[in-house]
Chain A
Amino acid sequence: MSKNVFITIDGKQISAPKGANLLKVARENSFDIPGLCFHHKLSPTGACRLCLVKVEGMRGLVASCTLKVEEGMIVTAFDEELEQTRRFLLDYLLSEHNDTYDNTYSDELRVLMFRYGLDKKENRFFKSVLESLNIKVDSSSPVLTYEPSKCIKCFRCIKACDEVQGKNVLSFNDRGINSYIIAGSGVWGESECDGCGECIQLCPTGALVEKPNRESINLDKVEKRVKTTCPYCGVGCQIELFIQNDKIVRSLGVEGVSPNDGRLCVKGRFGYEFVHSNDRLKTPLIKKEGRFVEASWDEAFDLIASKFLEIKEKYGSDALAGYASAKCTNEDNYIFQKFIRIAFGTNNIDYCTRLCHASTVTAMLKSIGDGAGSNPIEDFETTDCLLIIGNNIVETHPITATYVKRGAARGQKIIVIDPKWTPIVRYASVWLQPKLGTDVALLNGIINVIIRNGWHNPQFIMERVEGGIEAFNELDSLIKKYTPDYVERITGVPADKIILAAKLYARSATAMIATGMGMSQQVTGTNNVFCLLNLMLITGQVGRERCGIDPPRGQNNVQGATDVGCHPFMYPGYIPVANDENKKKVSMEWCVPFDALSSKPGLTTVEIVKAAHEGKVKALYIMGENPMLTDPNLNHTEEALKNLDFLVVQDIFHTETTKFAHVILPASTWAEKNGTFVNSDRRVLRVRKAVDCYGDAREDWKIIHELSNRMGFPMPIYNNESEIFDELARVTPIMAGISHARIELHGIQWPCPTTDHQGTSTLYVDKFNTPSGKGKLFPVDYAEQNERVDAQYPFLLNSGRILFHYHTSTMSRRTKVLRDFIDASYVLMNPNDAIKLNLSDGQKVKIASRRGELETKLKISEEVLEGELFMPWHFTESQVNRLTRDELDPYSKIAPFKLSAVNVSAK
């Protein structure tokens, strides 16, 4: 806590924290000292010299942006000399600036120009120097244009890229008055710039302006600015949408709020175009004689209601199932699970989380009692040691990665475990590259080193682990054989790296684990995560600030959808359905008879598909999900969907799944509704309606609400989404204290049990959420996978995401900027393998597995080990899941997307 001191500015006494930035303090106290190179997110530069002030005891004029507040400072911010000097310097600056203005960006220099009367020619004394500077415009980037004649060389863009985003893509080139900004080796579009737009957001002039909508946007004509949460990944960045003519024309990062403090990635900044795509579904569609025909809502509702009721009557409640949506709001999802449980009368409700972090959540629930991240996003920067395993964090959670990079710059130790190179490896203190599927062995090896060296925490084990030393000894006896040499033989990771990783993690004062799909999406997914939890528990790296385990969540609301009950075994708030007490409470709140609800745990996502295939599930209601691209073993999935008697798909676009629907209902995007999301660090965040629904499309919850009505299960009237949330909060103890009103400005992290509770930043500080209050160890042994390579299928295929596209890319591939970066499928192969197979870079290849095949293009890369391949799964023309299998993890029921045996041949 820095203490406050008193300073004087122009005779006025001001209290400010000691060491605070003088310029910032002055401005906060209404002394609007001009300055163009200063930005509160960046280290001070002192380049523009406009913020010069006089300080008693200091010689001459000093730049206030470079000074820290000290007790008794006496500052002159405004006097004739200072103002004249500022006008002079601005006149200088304007002589290298092209004053034309097209209203497409906010221009801080222009504001100063008017303020100091320099818009009038008679007040300008310096001839323009622009003619002598022949620097060309760079418009090669898909996201922005660099206009050097408007550049005031303030360093903000460079610092934004370096200090805020940790990317170092920009620099000045040349020197003096001939300086200009370059990205990479000088052509922006060929540089490493990934379009995050931090430089654009911080540029004080029109030197860097976004390309999308440049022709149409006019800041004077922007009707409103709406703050909401990004619809892409689970970081939950706060964005501000600019609306002009009822269209989104810009998206800016909101500064000063968690989790992103103004930072965005390319998707958050530019990925809104899909909202206004002409491909949007705008009316209900009913399949008649194999073709989709437009229909009215009434027609659609009546048909759906009657069919669902018919199937329920004929085959029983469990013949119906529903897929909720990780992209829809909590309110949408809460109503959906209510509908499935009441109107269908089954617990067959699940969604894509089963394909994602199911293993993580299953293991965490069993071991420590909560399936959500234990720490806030800021801890990624401040923890002493970060273990990132199976998580391409830079590409999948770019903003979380900015925290990690800033941590690295401060000396944080980073352990990366990944069979494939990912950009975070550049920051790693050590990178362990195990062969696919050998994670249990590797993690047990790390635990072995820790125990052997006495680096574990006996006190923590005694006090906070169930079974104390006994449980530890049980783990220890299993671990004994996992010596570094033994583990090296299995995993291919050198023993010295295993030892280093163990030392870094166990011996750091604080340590956090970030675990991703690489761990979860395996047939041993749950076991993988058990090993991580064992590691965490025996070292005591949990239950304190900056310690714990954070699985960065993939979707914008994958966390929330489970939180509010879209789970076959659990009601909202992780309360098991197979428990009469719980059922009683819920049925009372929902005003339904006790017996109306099923006590039987339902089917999970892939189990629903299997059951459809077997004819046990007859009807399926899918909201905002695309199993025909996301599910494993797509050939099998396709057969399953075709086998359904009745399929309803509620979505915003036609997808690979809607093809098989009997009725398609047009739904709303995140920009067209009010509600909330829950992000990776359990923060409940507001989503606000910015534009009207497209065509005849409706908000998801309203569609479900009406359908429930038509089926004879009317729900209460909700005047708005806030009322839905209030009901949700009553049923969900972890969110009991949260409401729309409370999260107007900042999100609140659950658990938040009461309305005066501030939310919970770090979990497990006092106890774990297990019945005993202690954490549980689950020793697991390594076993080879069933899916093995052989002569026919000699490669192991890994799959995953890339930065520019998002999951099934229904949104991202309808956004030009994202397609400009990358728009085609590929497979990565190690150069030695390519040589052996006589394949060349860019060649068309066929990939086949025991399940199916596809065609794609080859990219030779050292990012993958010999014998392994990697494909991004976003591209519908090369559906990776044709190749994957649906052998499930026995606990989490997740499919092993990360490992399939395949072969590759020239096309």
Chain B
Amino acid sequence: MLQEKRIALRNSGLINPESIEDYIQSGGYQALAKSLAMESSLVYETIIESGLRGRGGAGFPSGAKGKSTALTCEDCLKYVVCNADEGEPGTFKDRIIMETDPHSLIEGMLIAAWSIKATKGYIYIRGEYYKSIERVKKAIDQAKSKGFLGEDILSSGFDFDIEVKVGAGSYLCGEELTLLESIEGRRGYPRIKPPFPAQRGLWGVPTLINNVETLANFAPIILFGADWYKSLGTEKSHGTKIFTISGDVNKPGYYEVEMGMKLGDLINNFAGGVKGGNEIKAILIGGAAGTFASKKHLELPLDYDALKENGLTLGSGAIIVLNESRSVLDMLRSILSFFKHESCGKCVPCRLGTAHILSVVESLEKSNVGERESIFLNTIKQAEIMAKTSLCPLGQSPILPLKSAWTNFSDEIVKS
């Protein structure tokens, strides 16, 4: 049955996001109480067992991250950071969570913090999300006044506090290691890894970084158990995912469905199909650091592995639909322009690469049809070297849209 399955969005639209009483009444902070009564290690083991993977885009097993951080040192200072610097074009799921159910994020952070025995947390929200910042700050104050934050939470002896940090217009600060630099008050340059944040993160201390949507899943998983979560979704991609759909569809918006939902079903059943009855040409999955799917992929289930097997990526879950009148090349150009603008400039391949591949793609229009193939393949070659040599995921990303565009739309690229 094609229905949403709202877990991360369980309260969205159903409660007043500015009322902690509403949240409590709908079962809020019960998972926290349950976690605090458990061994902290059991908490992250539960998350591991559930198979929850990072919902920010990387898809890394969330519980494993927590465990690695916890095991770095038993009693030392540790931090939990929530990455709410949602900058991937086409993605706005975290904003929805923060605006409609900020307490789910706070409860998630509390559970994550208890699992690794961290005593301080930071929520790094992008500066343009004014409403989210306001709502999250309010929710933190409310949680404090009710004793869910602060000292000796629910008489457990556990102390935890959260501070909101505000970004200021940098996509790259959504990348984990760059995020830490930004929190520490510096320009957003990615750090060298290793060391990884789980071993040395914020101010040199073990730090667990999770995406908003990931954390919003923690409370239900603790409350209803790993097995319950595993029963949803597919064999290797458990649970649900919020997909944000935009572009040429009748009902652009956000939909939380079980992993494994078919791409075509998502577009037609939930997003109302292509606008104006047009044909689908392309679907950009995952935003700028995403891949172009074509009509032939509509039957694919949306999960990490099925997409990967087909040369596609799930990424942040952004789905942008292009109808037959749109130009994939134009879209590519916008994407490459985005990367050039957001490159921090630290490493050579990305700093120069994003500039050069953009100018090449821009010049494609003016070149002869006969030359276009070799020009585009040259661009792909550059992007491949960028992927091989760049310091961080930004430089490693342009190959994704470029290669998938070529695989699925080479005709159009050469002839348009």
| In the complex, A touching B (Cβ < 8 A) | yes
Total contacts A-B at CB 8 Å: 84
Within 8 A of B (CB), among A104-157: 126-127, 129, 152-153, 155
B391 x A47 contact (CB < 8 A):
yes
Q: How far is the CB of A876 from chain B (nearest CB, A)?
A: 46
Within 8 A of A (CB), among B335-364: 340-349, 351-356, 359
Docked CA distance A198–B354 (Å):
32
Q: Which residues of A contact B131 (CB under 8 A)?
A: none
Q: How far is the CB of B360 from chain A (nearest CB, A)?
A: 10
Interface: A171 (CB within 8 A): yes
A172 x B345 contact (CB < 8 A):
yes
Interface: B146 (CB within 8 A): no
Q: Which residues of B contact A700 (CB under 8 A)?
A: none
A153 x B349 contact (CB < 8 A):
no
Interface: B388 (CB within 8 A): yes
Q: With A46-B192, A60-B388, A85-B385 given, is the CB distance from A126 to B356 under 8 Å?
A: yes
Q: Which residues of A contact B354 (CB under 8 A)?
A: 176-177
A46 x B355 contact (CB < 8 A):
no
Within 8 A of A (CB), among B363-412: 385, 388-391
Q: How far is the CB of B185 from chain A (nearest CB, A)?
A: 12
B344 x A85 contact (CB < 8 A):
no
Docked CA distance A66–B193 (Å):
8
Interface: B326 (CB within 8 A): no
B349 x A95 contact (CB < 8 A):
no
A49 x B391 contact (CB < 8 A):
yes
Q: Which residues of A contact B170 (CB under 8 A)?
A: 175
Q: Which residues of A contact B359 (CB under 8 A)?
A: 127
Within 8 A of B (CB), among A327-353: none
Interface: B187 (CB within 8 A): yes
Interface: A821 (CB within 8 A): no
A153 x B356 contact (CB < 8 A):
no
B345 x A175 contact (CB < 8 A):
yes
Q: With A89-B348, A93-B348, A93-B352 given, is the CB distance from A49 to B343 under 8 Å?
A: no
For A179, give its contact among B340, B345, B391 (CB under 8 Å): B345
Interface: A178 (CB within 8 A): yes
Q: With A153-B345, A176-B341, A177-B351 given, is the CB distance from A49 to B192 under 8 Å?
A: no
Q: Which residues of B contact A178 (CB under 8 A)?
A: 345
B352 x A126 contact (CB < 8 A):
yes
Count, chain B residues at interface, CB 8 A: 25
Docked CA distance A93–B355 (Å):
12
For A48, give its contact among B347, B355, B385 (CB under 8 Å): B347
For A89, give its contact among B346, B349, B355 (CB under 8 Å): B349
Docked CA distance A177–B391 (Å):
15
Return the chain A residue nearest B186 by Cβ: A171
Within 8 A of B (CB), among A68-98: 85, 88-89, 92-93, 95-96
A176 x B343 contact (CB < 8 A):
yes
A176 x B356 contact (CB < 8 A):
no
Return the chain A residue nearest B351 by Cβ: A177
Docked CA distance A171–B351 (Å):
17
Q: Which residues of B contact A155 (CB under 8 A)?
A: 346
Q: Which residues of B contact A63 (CB under 8 A)?
A: 192, 391
Q: Which residues of A contact B347 (CB under 8 A)?
A: 46-49
A89 x B389 contact (CB < 8 A):
yes
Q: Which residues of A contact B349 (CB under 8 A)?
A: 49, 89, 92
B388 x A85 contact (CB < 8 A):
yes
Docked CA distance A88–B349 (Å):
9
Q: How far is the CB of B35 from chain A (nearest CB, A)?
A: 35
Return the chain A residue nearest B356 by Cβ: A126
Docked CA distance A93–B352 (Å):
7
Docked CA distance A244–B385 (Å):
45
Q: With A49-B347, A66-B192 given, is the CB distance from A96 to B352 under 8 Å?
A: yes
For A153, give its contact among B192, B351, B385, B391 (CB under 8 Å): B351
Docked CA distance A85–B359 (Å):
21
Interface: A578 (CB within 8 A): no
Interface: A52 (CB within 8 A): yes
Q: How far is the CB of B376 from chain A (nearest CB, A)?
A: 15
For B388, give its contact among A61, A66, A93, A152 (CB under 8 Å): A61
A95 x B346 contact (CB < 8 A):
no
Docked CA distance A385–B351 (Å):
44
Q: How far is the CB of B367 from chain A (nearest CB, A)?
A: 14
Docked CA distance A89–B170 (Å):
25
For A52, give its contact among B192, B352, B353, B389 (CB under 8 Å): B389
A95 x B352 contact (CB < 8 A):
yes
B-contact 0/1 string along A179-193, CB 8 Å cutoff: 100000000000000
Interface: A44 (CB within 8 A): yes
A92 x B345 contact (CB < 8 A):
no
Q: How far is the CB of A758 from chain B (nearest CB, A)?
A: 37
Q: Which residues of A contact B388 (CB under 8 A)?
A: 60-61, 85
Docked CA distance A155–B340 (Å):
20
Q: How far is the CB of A247 from chain B (nearest CB, A)?
A: 39
The CB with the most chain A CB atoms within 10 A, among B340, B342, B348, B351, is that of B348
Docked CA distance A95–B348 (Å):
11
A177 x B352 contact (CB < 8 A):
yes
Q: Which residues of B contact A88 (CB under 8 A)?
A: 385
Q: How far is the CB of A108 from chain B (nearest CB, A)?
A: 14
For A95, give its contact among B343, B344, B356, B390 (CB under 8 Å): B356
B-contact 0/1 string along A391-405, CB 8 Å cutoff: 000000000000000
Return the chain A residue nearest B391 by Cβ: A46
B390 x A49 contact (CB < 8 A):
yes
Q: Which residues of B contact A171 (CB under 8 A)?
A: 187
Return the chain B residue nearest A86 by Cβ: B389
Q: Which residues of A contact B187 (CB under 8 A)?
A: 171-172, 175
Q: How far is the CB of A369 from chain B (nearest CB, A)?
A: 44
B192 x A44 contact (CB < 8 A):
yes
A175 x B352 contact (CB < 8 A):
no
Q: Which residues of B contact A127 (CB under 8 A)?
A: 356, 359
Docked CA distance A66–B192 (Å):
7
Return the chain B residue nearest A36 by Cβ: B348
Q: Which residues of B contact A92 (CB under 8 A)?
A: 348-349, 352-353, 356
Docked CA distance A88–B352 (Å):
11
Q: How far is the CB of A321 from chain B (nearest CB, A)?
A: 60
Q: Which residues of B contact A96 (CB under 8 A)?
A: 351-352
Q: Which residues of B contact A175 (CB under 8 A)?
A: 170, 187, 343-345
Return the chain B residue nearest A179 by Cβ: B345
Q: Which residues of B contact A45 (CB under 8 A)?
A: 192, 346
B352 x A85 contact (CB < 8 A):
no
Return the chain B residue nearest A81 by Cβ: B388
Docked CA distance A44–B391 (Å):
13
A49 x B345 contact (CB < 8 A):
no
Q: With A47-B391, A66-B192 given, is the CB distance from A176 to B340 under 8 Å?
A: yes
Q: How far is the CB of B101 from chain A (nearest CB, A)?
A: 34
Q: Which residues of A contact B356 (CB under 8 A)?
A: 92, 95, 126-127, 129
Q: Which residues of A contact B346 (CB under 8 A)?
A: 45, 47, 153, 155
Q: Which residues of B contact A60 (CB under 8 A)?
A: 388
Docked CA distance A437–B354 (Å):
64
Q: Which residues of A contact B355 (CB under 8 A)?
A: 129, 176-177
Return the chain B residue nearest A129 by Cβ: B355
Q: With A44-B192, A47-B346, A66-B192 given, is the CB distance from A176 to B351 under 8 Å?
A: yes
Docked CA distance A888–B349 (Å):
68
Docked CA distance A92–B344 (Å):
16
Return the chain A residue nearest B353 by Cβ: A92
For B348, give its contact among A44, A49, A176 (CB under 8 Å): A49
Closest 5 CB pairs of A and B: A92-B352, A179-B345, A176-B343, A176-B345, A66-B192
User: Which A residues are within 8 Å of any B CB, using their own CB?
Assistant: 44-50, 52, 60-61, 63, 66, 85, 88-89, 92-93, 95-96, 126-127, 129, 152-153, 155, 171-172, 175-179
Q: Given contact pairs A49-B348, A127-B359, A176-B354, enumerate 13 new A-B contacts (beta carbons under 8 Å).
A: A47-B346, A47-B391, A48-B348, A49-B347, A49-B349, A63-B192, A89-B349, A92-B348, A93-B348, A129-B352, A155-B346, A175-B187, A176-B344
Q: List 8 A-B contacts (CB under 8 A).
A: A48-B348, A85-B388, A89-B348, A89-B349, A92-B348, A129-B352, A176-B340, A176-B355
